[in-house]
Amino acid sequence: MTETSNIPTLSGDTKRAIDRRTCVVECVGNTPLLELKAISKEVEPVRIFGKAEWYNPGGSVKDRPALNMILEGEKTGKLTREKTLMDSTSGNTGIAYAMLCSAMGYKVKLCVPKNIGPLRQRILVAFGAELVLTDPTRGSDGAIEEAIRLNEAEPERYFYPDQYSNPANWQAHYQSTGPEIYTQTSGAITHFVAALGTTGTFRGTGTWLKEMDENIKLISFQPDSPMHGLEGMKHIPTSIVPAIYDESLADENRWLRTEDAQAMCLRLAKEEGLLVGPSAGAAVACALDVARSLSDGVVVTILPDGGLKYLDFLFWDKK
């Protein structure tokens, strides 16, 4: 298997135009694909790989769609210097927005559930974001509702990309994540596993992979209950369903317990030397479960972010 460097190749024009904007923007994407050799020992000869999305400059997979939505806003003229980018987020997309807007010279205002935690709030504020803290009992749905209310009240004031409805979200993964994975596995990928949140990662990456090879199996997964601890993920049956969600795309959908995701985070740290967030632990737990049903194959999943933002979660204290 091959890996692509996370250091971009810049064109002559880009090199001449380097400033604080391109230094961040040009580093989005081209993340490493890591073989999880210790975890894969359980299912040999099946091989399991994870896309290390914390290599993005904002530390998560959400840098890809956030950048694409901003660029699309510029292209269409909906995002101007006079407007404030405003959207709802449960964490990582907000960090991506705030980082990119800081680098690109835009103001940003974010609706976030009050319980996202002080560390993530500090990161957002450090990048210059204005926060609107929403009812924690309503989760990401409450933040979505507040963002809609703010935009409807003052549409001339805001650029509202609406990550749950914006095609530029999933198209970012169609343009980058899918092709990267196919190249990094030399076309050997047999199964793609990804979580459902905004659903952009699964739709964009899965659509591209399926177009390249219709035999690649696409497996989506989501929390097994409405009351879960997997930030950024949706229990679709009880949530506001993202407009970009394509229910027909998955060959199979699976359900995952929060406890299994947390247990895999501990395993990945101790066995693979990878400190990842709960959504990445969930992804590997699901990928391993898929691999157990195979006699051969290459299973690839997305590791959305690293674990540093989650070290205040109590599950890390477990032995």
Give the residue numbers marked as catalytic: 62, 279
Q: Phi and psi at residue 255, in whole multiples of 5°?
A: -120, 140
Burial 5-21 (b: 16+ CB within 10 A, else e): eeeeeeeeeeeeeeeee
Which element (helix H / strand E) includes 70? helix 63-76
Q: Which CA distances in Å does 48 have to 34, 38, 288?
A: 9, 10, 7
User: Which has the closest alpha carbon to 265: 251, 282, 249?
Assistant: 282
**What are the structure tokens assigned to 46, written together?**
């099946």
91 contacts: CB under 8 Å, gap ≥ 6: 112, 116, 120, 231, 232, 309
Range list of β-strands (E), the chain: 33-35, 47-52, 84-88, 107-113, 130-134, 158-159, 191-195, 217-223, 252-256, 298-303
Q: Strand 33-35 and strand 47-52: pairing?
A: antiparallel
Distance CA 33, CA 49 (A): 6
